[in-house]
Chain A
Amino acid sequence: MNTESNTRLLVDTLTARRDDFLAQWARTVGEDLRGRLSMAELGRELGELYEALLRALSAGSLDSHGEEFGETRSLLIELSRNRARQGFTPTDTARSVFALKEVLEPSLTGDADSVRAYLQFSRLLDDLGLLTSEAYLRTREEIISSQAEQLLELSTPVVKLWDGVVGVPLVGTLDSARTQVVMEKLLQTLVDTDSTHAIIDITGVPTVDTQVAQHLLKTVVAARMMGARCTISGIRPQIAQTIVALGIEFGDIPTNASLSDALRQALKEVALDAEDDVRGLL
Chain B
Amino acid sequence: MTDRVPVLKIGEVLLVSIQTDLDDQMVLDLQEDLSHRIVATGAKGVVIDISALEIVDSFVGRMLANNAAVSRILGAETIVVGMRPAVAMTLVELGLSMSGVRTALNLERGLKLLRRIAAGRA
Contacts and interface: CB of A to CB of B under 8 A. Distances in A.
Interface residues of B, number: 23
A276 B83 contact: no
A225 interface: yes
Interface string A134-167: 0000000000000000000000000000000000
Interface in B62-80: 80
A221 B105 CA distance: 14
B112 A225 contact: no
Interface residues of A, number: 25
B92 A225 contact: yes
Contacts of B115: 276, 280
A187 B105 CA distance: 10
Interface string A186-217: 01101100111000000000000000000000
Contacts of A187: 85, 88-89
B119 interface: yes
Interface in A256-282: 272-273, 276-277, 279-280
Contact of A184 (B85, B97, B110, B119): B85
Contact of B85 (A188, A272, A273): A188
Interface string A95-124: 000000000000000000000000000000
Nearest to B79: A227
Interface in A219-239: 221-228
Contact of B105 (A188, A194, A218, A279): A194
Interface string B84-98: 110011011100011
Contact of B81 (A227, A272, A279): A227
B83 A227 contact: yes
B25 interface: no
B4 interface: no
B106 interface: yes
B36 interface: no
A280 B92 CA distance: 34
B104 interface: yes
A196 B105 contact: yes
Contacts of A276: 112, 115-116, 119, 121
A260 B89 CA distance: 28
Contacts of B103: 224-227
A11 interface: no
B106 A222 contact: no
- Closest CB pairs A-B (n = 10): A187-B85, A227-B104, A227-B103, A222-B88, A227-B105, A225-B88, A222-B92, A221-B97, A218-B92, A226-B88
Interface of B: 80-81, 83-85, 88-89, 91-93, 97-98, 103-106, 109-110, 112, 115-116, 119, 121
19 contacts: A180-B89, A183-B85, A187-B89, A188-B85, A190-B105, A191-B85, A195-B105, A196-B105, A221-B92, A222-B88, A222-B89, A224-B103, A225-B83, A226-B88, A226-B103, A227-B106, A227-B110, A228-B105, A280-B112
